[in-house]
Amino acid sequence: DTEVTQTPKHLVMGMTNKKSLKCEQHMGHRAMYWYKQKAKKPPELMFVYSYEKLSINESVPSRFSPECPNSSLLNLHLHALQPEDSALYLCASSQGSGGLGDTQYFGPGTRLTVL
């Protein structure tokens, strides 16, 4: 089973709202990732958590706040977003070893629209 689940599938929020995206995997993976994908562009890495610690932050604005409560869950807290933050947000997970077998498996994504 290589399933990564994400909720919600779609989210519409105003610029003053606070919302959260959720990602879950039950593959025993120890690394989890957030990517952002704008329309007709490739995914871009935002954050990497490894063994529940933030290991990579790709200079993402502080209005995006990741959280990894345990090895199976990854959240992305959103606050004071801008319309240009509208995108498909993708979660992925991998074993976390960094070696040859460390394949990332992606969830279906959350389509976010900021009004």
Partner 1 sequence: DAKTTQPPSMDCAEGRAANLPCNHSTISGNEYVYWYRQIHSQGPQYIIHGLKNNETNEMASLIITEDRKSSTLILPHATLRDTAVYYCIVRLYMIYNQGGKLIFGQGTELSVKP
Name the residues that contact partner 1, by CB under 8 A. 2, 4, 30-31, 33, 42-45, 48-51, 55-56, 88, 90, 92, 94, 96-100, 102-109, 111
Q: Record the tokens describing residue 29, joined without a space.
A: 């993976």
Q: Which is nearer to partner 1, 33 or 64 (CB)?
A: 33
Its sign, for the CA torsion 69, 110, 45, 27, is positive
Please report how close the Cβ of residue 115 comes to partner 1 at its closest, in angstroms: 20
Nearer to partner 1, 18 or 51 (CB): 51
Find where tokens 């009004």 sit: 115
Cβ neighbors of 31 (< 8 A, separation 6 or more) are: 48, 49, 50, 51, 55, 93, 94, 95, 96, 102
Q: Which is nearer to partner 1, 50 or 65 (CB)?
A: 50
Least separation, in Å, of the C-beta of 80 and partner 1? 26
Helix H or strand E segment including 58 = none
Cβ 100 to partner 1, closest distance in Å?
6
